[in-house]
Each structure stands twice: as C-alpha cells, then as structure tokens.
Chains A and B, each alone.
Chain A
Amino acid sequence: MFFHIDTKSNAPLYEQIIQQVKEMCAKGLLIPDERLPSVRELSSHMVINPNTVSKAYQELERQGIIVTVRGRGTFISKETDRTIDPGRLKAIREFLKEAVIENYYAGYSKKELIELLEEVYEEMEGKTDEN
C-alpha cells in the first residue's frame, strides 16, 4: 500500500493518514467505490496502533470521503456524495491567508501565487490522466 509515516512531520499520525487518503483521491490513485484496507489490515501493515487508524477513518467518514458498509468494508465515496462542510471552507480560507502572507514575504507577487496554484492543480490533475 501507499501509506507511510512521516517522522519529520509535526502532524499527528491520524492526520497524516487522513491527508494521505485525501491526496491519493485528489491524484486519482484512489477512485470512488475502491475498497480501503480494514483497520486491522492497515494498522498491521503500518505497524501502528489500530485506534489511530480508526480515528482517521472516523474523521474521513465524517467528512464524507469514505463510507463504511457493514460487513463489506470501507470504500471511497462517490464524489457526488461528498458533503460540503462550511467549517472546512473556513479552515481552507485560513490556510490560504497564511500562504498569501508567506508569498508576500518570500517576495513573490499575487500573480505568481495564482500561477503556482494553477500549477499545483495541473500537477494533481495530470497524475489523474496518467492512470
């Protein structure tokens, strides 16, 4: 599997798992209806506490990114099923604000930041096409 622990990161491990699932979805490495490993499989594979995986899956489910079907497993949800969470939009806004400030102090212009954002989108979408 493609999960890994980043020991250089300050983010708690369950957040890293959430982030990795999201990233793989965005890149098209995980597609709707695809089955994710069970809590038991993933925790054993990564040699980490099962509660950490449960916590990550619960949060992903809450955000509508995955669905658990009793007796069948955990799956990536269909994109149309994704819930729009106003709280998360607020978090993204904060995140962007930080990026804008960083960009300013790094000496780049507004235009250059927008171009950079475009590039990141292309990078993500480009990976989708390859698959």
Chain B
Amino acid sequence: MDAFKEEDYSKQFDIGLWKKLLRCLIPYKKLLVVSIGLIVLIGAIDAVFPLITRYAIDNFIMEGKLSDLIYFAPLYGFLIVFQSVNVFLHIAVSGKIEMGVCYDLRETGFKRLQELSYSYYDRTPVGWIMARMTSDVQRLSETLSWGFTDLIWGFSMMVFIMAALFAMNWKLALISLSVVPVLAVVSVYFQKRILDAYRVVRKTNSQITGGFNEGIQGARTTKTLVREKRNLGEFEGLTGNMRKSAITAAVLSALYMPLVMILGSIGTGLALWFGGQRVMLEVMSYGTLVAFISYTVQFFEPIREMARIFAELQYAQASAERVMSLVDTEPEIVDSKEVIEKMGDVFSPKVKNWPPVKGDIKFENVTFKYKDGEKVLENFNLHVRTGETIALVGETGSGKSTIVNLVCRFYEPTEGRILIDNVDYRNRSQLWLQSNLGYVLQTPHLFSGTIRENIRYGRLDATDEEVEEAARLVHADEFIKKLEKQYDTEVGEGGGRLSTGEKQLISFARAILANPRIFVLDEATSSIDTETEQIIQSAIQKVLKGRTSFIIAHRLSTIRSADRILVIRDGKIIEEGNHYQLIKKKGYYYNLYTNQFKEEQEKQLLRAQ
C-alpha cells in the first residue's frame, strides 16, 4: 500500500512532463491564442490607466485645456467598457479551455482504465484512482488554462509598466523599482511557505475526518470498553495539531501581505522623494509624478500573482505526474496486432469474425506467478468438457480464485497455455471470451439505475419481454412485482436499496440474459434467508444447464450437484470426483462436508423458529 500514499511532489521542474502536458492544449490552439491575446490586452490596458491620469492632469489641470474633456470622458468610459468586455471574453474562453482539457483528460483516463488488466485493480485501491481522475485532473486543467494565462498577464503587465516608467523617466524608474528584487525574493519565499503550510492543514484535516469516522463507527465498542475519555484525549491531540498548523498558515499569510505593502510603500516613498524633487525643479510634470506613484502601487500585484502561480505549479506538477502515471500505465494483458485486426478491440469489436464458443476448456501445464514472484499454480492440468459443472473447494489462498481468473483471462498463465475449444485463448480477443462469459459474484454488484437497466446490462439490445423472461426464470420477478414501480424501481447506488439476496437474483437474471457459454459463479455464503436460499438454488440450476461452469462454492447443495468437485490446496488438486466418491474417500472433502453440514443445519434450525 505504501506506493499509494499521497506522494510528495518532486522539487525539480520536469520540462519533459510539461511538454507532454502542453500537448493536451493542442485541440484548443485557437482558443488559447485568443485567450493569450486577450490577457495581454487586459494587462496593457491596466497599465495604461495611470498614463491617462498623467495626461489628464498635465493637459486639463496644468494647462487648462478643458474643452477636450468632452472627448476625453466618453473615450475613458469606452476604454472601461472595452476592458470589461475583454475580461468577460477572457474568462469565458479560458473557462472553455479548462473544461475542455478536463473533459479530455478524464475521457482518456477512463478509456485507459477500461483497458487496464484485471491485476491492476488488485493492486490499486479504488480511492487512489478516484483521486487521480477527479481532483488531480481538475487541478491540472485549472493550471493549464488559468495558471499559464495568469502568468502571461503578470509578465505582460510588468513589461508594460516598466516600459511606461522607463519611457517617462528612466532614472526615476530605476530608483522606484529598486525594491522590486527584494519583493520578488520575499514573494517567492512566502508563497512557497504558505502553500506548504496549507498542505499540512489539509493533511491534518483529513486526519480529523478519519478521527470522526472512527469515533462514530466505533462508538458502540468504545462504550463497552469504557474508553470515552482516552479517545477524547487522543482526538483533542488531533484538533490541537489542527489549530496549531492552521494558525501557522494564517500567520504566514498575515505576515506576507503587510510585508508586500510595506515594501510597496518604500517604492512609493522613493518615487515621491526623487520625483517630487524633479517636479520642484520643474524637470518633470505633476502628472508624471502621480503616474509614477500609481505605478509603484500597481506593480506589486503581478509580482504577487506570479509568485503564487510558481508555487502552485509545483503542486500541479505532482498532480500531473500522478495523472500521467495513470494514463501511461500499459495493460498487462493485450491482444496481439493480428488478433485486433481480425476481431477488433474493446471499443470497436468485429463481431462478425468471432467464431462461436462451445465451452471446452483445457489447462495445459499452466504455471501462474504473481508479479512479486509468489507462485500460485504450478504445472496445473485440467480438462473441462462442454456443459460440465465444476465446483472448486478449498481454503482462502488455495488458488481456486486464480483458476477462475485464468479462465476469464483476467490473468494469463505465466507458463503453459489455456485452450478454449482447442485454441489457445491468446489467439482470440479478450472481448470474444468475455462476451461469452457469465459471471455472478459473491457480492453482487449492481449499477445505479432501474432494475430493468441492470438486467439489460447482460445484453444491451434485449427487449423488455426478454428482460422480464430472464427475471422470471430465476424467480426474481416475484419480489420485483411486489415493488411499487416494479421493473422501473431505482436500485440506488451500488444497489443499496435492495437486500443482498435480491441483488443476487438480479445478477443471475443479468447473466442469464447474456446467454453465455461459460459460466463462473463465485457463491455467497451468508446473509440470505432459507427461503431465498432455496429460490437461488433453483435459479442456479437453471442458469448452469447446458453451460460449462465453474463454481467457487460454499453452500453444500451447490457443491453436491456439481458434475465434478475439485479440492484445491496450495495450487494443486488434492481430491477430485463427484460428491459420493469424495464422501466415500473420507478425506479432506468428507471433513469439510460434515463440519459445514452441521453448521448449516444448526443455523437453519435456529432460523426456522
């Protein structure tokens, strides 16, 4: 799990990475040009206002040419309106770029997620992926659209102001701007520290959320252990940290702003001092002095902005690294070029070229190792004939799930091969196999939407009658009919509004609708009442009829009816045969069976009450 902790950003500016990222902007080239053009214009107009002041003072006031004021006022007003329009357009255009980049990144990421191998999901927590796809993508697109244009704004404004100052009086310009380097250093230092401090605050904040979460979920346990006081003590430690780090961050900001202001006032003071002297010597006009003073005040805004953006770029880079690492992950299981050419890829399958699946499956000397070298299967051989039902029995970690994952080609053999209808399945496309696969999970997973939509997931072009027929077949329609909106009932997020048993029935119906040739059943153990259990049992029988099927079974009734039972231990088949043969053997299966039988009977007796 360590690899998935919130990584720290790298301090080095990674030019290669940013080059790659700038490519995201290529589709928005034209908009970007407009946006940059606008922001340069905005900066220029911002910088022009003091010059207008200067003109007005020198011409209207000092020389008294008041007649021109009639033209001046509307022009001035027009410039303001023009500037407002620019601001509007710039925000609208940059917003368009931001949302576009965000959309593209998410789509690319999502497509990649659909292609990534199953093993990727074994290693990567969903929360990690979610964070990459939501907040990281958002920060990245924000930076790419706003950050860069803001930087250009700051830069162009600085250039314009400097140009104006130097044009008016280069000596005074040099004197007034002498504080700028100090300001730049102070800004870069503080912005970095402030951002770091807020990062600590956010981390502490998520610890507090965790603390609350645990406090609430563990409240009953806390009560029985009488640990309220010590829990509160520990929590107060957290909130104490929070207070400390939040105050540190706030104090840093509270220190930075006045510092900028004071440095600014030194610049203004210098302009007043030396400029005032020149005015008195009558080598400079009043208007120029006022313009100088306004510029010294205005100059600090772009510096502050740029310092902030540079600090943020470092975090954006961290986001960029994480997003790119997701997008650049190569799937471990890929179809070969020839296969894709013939059968199509995941997004554009060539169904016409798909041979039908019969369901004869052979493992030939299959060895499977995890990436870390842990061997799960070695030289494993198995032949499952078309239509046969195989039950896999064994403890957690015995390798039975691996066998099933290999059949589904969620994993591929490290050595040896798996034949489906006598062809190595690597010579067929993944989608070909998986489209012919029915899979019912231990914890059935439904998608938000109606019951009908969920069943139809099995075959998208199924008619309403076919959907309902599938539901009837597994006896799901009995409970569906009792619901107010029947098939149009919303199942809630993750199917949360239905019981586990109901969800299971729907997932059976979904699988049956798909009419797969190969069936995999990862059976649930508990949380189903006896009555539902019997219904599900008959549903299973119907689903499995005539199909090649693998069952990871816990419930005895299911195991008993399998054609062949494989007892797996440490990746090897230690017992094999049908129920009666294995009972007779009085081996592992016999023990397992008798123990479990007792448990089940006891539970049933207690439930029947």
Partners in one complex: no
